[in-house]
Amino acid sequence: MNITPKMLIGFIKEFMAMKVEIVEFKTSKDYEFNLKKLIEKINSSSSDFLLFPEVALSGFDYDNWNEVNKFGEYAIDKLSKLNKSFALTIIADNKNYFCFFDKGLVYKRAKFNLFGGEKNYFKTGNEPDIFEWNGLKIGNLICFELRFIKYWEKFKGVDLILVPSRWGKERIEHFKILSKALALSTQSNVLVCNSANEEAFLAAIDAWADGVEGNKSLICEIDFEKNKKIRKKLNIGIV
């Protein structure tokens, strides 16, 4: 039997475990310092993929809005040169972009559901959608977008959902509950990373709502085969 590239990708996806690092990150007022710290973390990591929180490089620095946007464009160019796979959100062009890098910027989407005062500064982006990477179907939600159940329906059965956030500490329990509910509802692996500037919460959650969580950087392996078994055991119509 001849093995096609598509068959090979499917075989790798079915049996592989991916090592991921979810990074506790506190953003300072010095954008260059933040970028340097982020690059050092990426370059020193042994993981296959790293997730950082929302607006990790600048925060929501509305008092220096022009500088934030200019730095975002500069940061995207610098990060595109790294030989690693990672994701975070970056402000540029008055939008809050989810950026997925893999030896370059391979996917970008601006936040659609803006929260509170964000509407006074940001342009609205596109609704959350699914993209593919290394044979995996991946969805992404930026912070407040986690609350919108219509995206959960869209993401049912994807391999991985990434949720970089800067969720307010007074509502952090909502974030934790919704993150687990998202994993249970979609029967997908969910990675969440909340900014340490609010209250750090990091978690890798599978379709059984098992996994690891905490307020410090964590490294774990995602077993994609486990979720396929859970879908068979708890059949809610997801293949």
Query: In the chain, what are the domain boundaries?
Result: 19-233
Q: Give the per-residue pLDDT at 16.
A: 62
Q: Give the per-residue pLDDT at 2.
A: 53
From the centroid of its chain, how far is CA 98?
Answer: 8
Looking at the predicted structure, is the pLDDT value of residue 3 above 50?
no
Secondary-structure breakdown of the chain: helix, strand, coil percentages, each rounded to the nearest 5: 35, 30, 35
41-65 as b/e: b if 16+ CB within 10 A: bbeebebbbbbbbbbbbbbbbeeee
DSSP three-state, residue 103: coil
Q: Which fold has domain 19-233?
A: Nitrilase/N-carbamoyl-D-aminoacid amidohydrolase (3.60.110)
Quote the CA–CA distance of 31 and 114 in Å, as a whole number: 23
Least confident of 9-23, 92-106, 110-124, 168-182: 9-23
Quote the CA–CA distance of 56 and 39 in Å, as a whole number: 12
In 3D, which of 77, 73, 60, 15 has the Cα closest to residue 167? 60
Give me the sign of the Cα torsion angle 178, 181, 182, 183.
positive
Q: Give the per-residue pLDDT at 13.
A: 47
Quote the pTM value.
0.93
